[in-house]
Amino acid sequence: MQYRKLGNNEQLSAIGLGCMSMSHAYGVPDDEESIATLHHALDLGINFWDTADVYGSGKNEELISKVLVPNRDKIFISTKFGFTQDAGGNMVFNGSPAYMRQAVEASLKRLKIDTIDLYYAHRIDPNVPVEEMVGGMAELVKAGKVRYLGLSEASVSSIKKAHAVHPISAVQSEYSLLTRDVENNVLPACQELGITFVPFSPLARGLMTNTLNLSELPDTDFRKKLPRYQQEYQDNNQKLAAAFADLATQMSCSPAQLAISWVLAQGENIIPIPGTKKRDKLTDNAGSVDVKLTDQNLQQIEELLAKYPNTGNRYDEASEKMVDRDSK
């Protein structure tokens, strides 16, 4: 494994492990395989693990604790707070300092640790000033509950407001060959401020592995709700994935390795966190750090993407409303 720095501090594996799918959103949980995958991550030198209190309603943090606790000094653990349900059972976001104080204690209890390495606000709360939210998070640092602070799906203006209150070490957002809006403003801002950018779903939620049959996803799969994985875009996206897999073969790597290596090539301050609950896929993902792309390779990828532009949006309307964006 190769390593990159979180800001100017921690040495983190150049790819992390997104743990959401072990307990949430994709298919049926398999705790035994997930535990084996977590141990395998340690064997591979993947020390940056990502979870959230909302994943499996806390079950993901509890699952991770089984491997985290006996290996605490080997793992840099990040989790997130903020998503909760209103009285009607609808998912809402609460970024208030009062709520985060409850949330951090609950996460610490489930993880069975004293301090969280990286604590993210899972979204930006439109009803709570960013400065107030991050001020509350900074108090958690002073109290020794967390070490570093992060934001998820944040706009440049929110990142800068937050960073002025307390150093923001990481900004997490979706970034892949098919989701590139952060390139316009967020990535440059992170580079300017010395913030590590952490892409989730660098494989476009599995699409770029060329192993998904979009028409056969079960109704319980989170992707069924997202435009990119629905009928009107399926033909385009299945053809894109197949052509991308052919290109990967020409470059002597797997499609997953090619997709992740492309993300890694976009900046030294980038640490993607592809998610999986299976050991073989983790091994495949880890090999991406050894794939070196030339300028010609990068151009080939751009030309291929241009042939299949009808990829669809990454989020449905409800999820999109929770993404913080700067007004145009």
Residues noted as catalytic: 55
CB 290 within 8 A of CB 323: no
Asked if residues 324 and 95 have their Cβ atoms less than 8 Å apart, the reply is no
For residues 86 and 70, give the distance between their C-alpha atoms in angstroms, rounded to a whole number. 36
CA 140, CA 144: separation in Å to the nearest integer?
A: 6
* Non-local CB neighbours of 293 within 8 Å, separated by 6+ positions: 251, 261, 262, 265, 301
Contacts of 279 (CB under 8 A, 6+ apart): 33, 36, 37, 40
Give the orientation angle of helix 130-142 with respect to helix 97-111, to 10 degrees. 40
Cα 155–272–51 angle (5° rounding)? 80
**Distance (Å, rounded) from C-alpha 200 to C-alpha 180?**
12
For 157, list phi and psi in degrees, rounded to 5. -60, -40
Separation between Cα atoms, residue 269 and residue 134, nearest integer Å: 22
Of 254, 301, 298, 293, whose CA–CA distance to 276 is shortest? 254
